[in-house]
């Protein structure tokens, strides 16, 4: 079978390797579509905090069940599924408290362990979720939606809240959709005007901010939008010190700040602003089983057209070009999908 591998930063290949052997409690899956996550792009660029090499990327996907034993979920060969890709240890303090998404020893497919960008993979049956008839291409985007949805859930958004999403990539745009679904007045910010305009126009957001790097101009736009108050909620979906600072600065006194983005750089800032504003700052990592189940139902009910987030589709053999194009044109591309 064919497998995509990142040998080192900037070096992606499609190689031949043996088919996986299914173990008891696992299903053999034929991968249908896989999305290139920001973490996969970071692995390609050498900027992802959790990357090592060589690495098979991929954890956003849909697949057809080829072989599976009888199971309580009622999953059978021929069904199209997605999966929870965050492997928790089961014995750390977080796991003991049921916080499986932030396991101290978490290993996410494609990050700390090899991912699913192969024609066939095996996974534990309990990690699989029935796609309930959703198109395979749509189902491949459920996992990043879960990442965004989980972060938005941490924010405690109330109807009518003014919310700023910093970052108009896939995770930020999906976070804007999730925040809007909770009744918020949502604005999105990015360096790339094209991405801001696409998110606002495609998903009916309240407005957008193009941040040119001028902090004073950025803050003035935020204050103009909120009549000088700042945003009730700000959500960081990039993973840089500058964008986290944007979220701190744009938040209202008593506001909530959520960090979804992952980065490697340290930050130096006047932390007393947290005390002065009495900010509530939340980290958001991965997602929970309930997020997957709720969002599959939400999309199935027609609440969100997830395929609008997909801007580019490549074949498996074109995977090296997909990574290179995404790297060079990230300002013009949202979700990049590989068809297996």
Tens digit of pLDDT per residue, the chain (340 long)? 999 999 999 999 999 999 999 999 999 999 999 999 989 999 999 988 888 999 999 999 999 999 999 999 999 999 999 999 999 999 999 999 999 999 999 999 999 999 999 999 999 999 999 999 999 999 999 999 999 999 999 999 999 999 999 999 999 999 999 999 999 999 999 999 999 999 999 999 999 999 998 999 999 999 999 999 999 999 999 999 999 999 999 999 999 999 999 888 899 999 999 999 999 999 999 999 999 999 999 999 987 889 999 999 999 999 999 999 999 998 889 999 999 9
Q: CB-based contacts of 176: which residues, under 8 Å, 6+ apart?
A: 163, 165, 168, 186, 188, 199, 203, 205
Q: Would you say 34 and 337 are in contact if contact means Cβ atoms under 8 Å apart?
A: yes
Query: Is the same domain home to 310 and 181?
Result: no
Query: Is the same domain home to 197 and 108?
Result: no
Look up the domain containing 335 and give its range.
2-140+305-339
Q: Looking at the domain assignment, is residue 290 inside a domain?
A: no
Query: Is the same domain home to 278 and 309?
Result: no
| Alpha helices by DSSP H, 159-252 | 170-181, 193-203, 215-225, 241-250
Query: Is the same domain home to 225 and 153?
Result: yes
Query: Is the same domain home to 175 and 265?
Result: yes
Q: How far apart are the first and last CA of the chain?
A: 11
Q: Looking at the domain assignment, is residue 270 inside a domain?
A: yes
CATH number of the domain bearing residue 84: 3.90.180.10
Query: Is the same domain home to 153 and 130?
Result: no
Kindly report the pTM of this predicted structure: 0.93
Query: Is the same domain home to 168 and 250?
Result: yes
Query: Is the same domain home to 155 and 273?
Result: yes
CATH number of the domain bearing residue 229: 3.40.50.720
Q: Would you say 147 and 65 are in contact if contact means Cβ atoms under 8 Å apart?
A: no
Q: Looking at the domain assignment, is residue 65 inside a domain?
A: yes
Query: Is the same domain home to 252 and 127?
Result: no
Query: Is the same domain home to 152 and 134?
Result: no
Q: Looking at the domain assignment, is residue 297 inside a domain?
A: no
Query: Is the same domain home to 29 and 107?
Result: yes
> What DSSP string runs through 128-158?
EEE-TT--HHHHTTHHHHHHHHHHHHHTT--
Query: Is the same domain home to 274 and 321?
Result: no
Count of structural domains, the chain: 2
């Amino acid at each position: 079978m064919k497998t995509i591998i990142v040998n080192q930063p900037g070096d992606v290949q499609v190689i031949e390797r043996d088919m996986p052997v299914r173990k008891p409690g696992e299903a053999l899956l034929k991968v249908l579509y896989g999305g290139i996550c920001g973490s996969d792009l970071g692995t390609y660029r050498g900027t992802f905090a959790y990357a090592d090499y060589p690495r098979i990327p991929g954890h956003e996907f849909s697949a057809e069940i080829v072989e599976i034993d009888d199971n309580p979920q009622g999953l059978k060969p021929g069904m199209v599924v997605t999966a929870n890709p965050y492997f928790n240890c089961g014995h750390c303090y977080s796991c003991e408290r049921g916080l499986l998404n932030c396991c101290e020893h978490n290993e996410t497919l494609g990050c700390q362990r090899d991912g699913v960008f192969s024609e066939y993979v095996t996974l534990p049956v309990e990690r699989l979720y029935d796609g309930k008839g959703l198109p395979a291409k749509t189902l491949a985007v459920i996992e990043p939606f879960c990442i965004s949805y989980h972060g938005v859930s941490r924010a405690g958004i109330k109807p009518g809240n003014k919310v700023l999403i910093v970052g108009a990539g896939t995770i930020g745009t999906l976070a804007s959709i999730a925040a809007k679904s909770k009744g918020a007045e949502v604005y999105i910010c990015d360096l790339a005007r094209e991405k801001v305009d696409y998110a606002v126009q495609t998903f009916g957001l309240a407005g957008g901010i193009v941040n040119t790097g001028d902090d004073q101009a950025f803050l003035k736009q935020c204050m103009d939008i909120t009549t000088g108050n700042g945003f009730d909620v700000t959500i960081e979906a990039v993973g840089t010190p500058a964008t986290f600072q944007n979220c701190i600065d744009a938040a209202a006194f008593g506001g909530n700040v959520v960090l979804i983005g992952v980065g490697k750089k340290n930050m130096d800032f006047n932390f007393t602003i947290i005390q002065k504003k009495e900010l509530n700052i939340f980290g958001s990592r991965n997602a929970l089983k309930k997020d997957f189940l709720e969002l599959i139902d939400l999309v199935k009910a027609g609440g969100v057209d997830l395929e609008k987030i997909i801007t580019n589709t490549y074949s498996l053999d074109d995977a090296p070009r997909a990574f290179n194009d995404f790297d060079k044109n990230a300002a013009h591309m949202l979700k990049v999908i590989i068809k297996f």
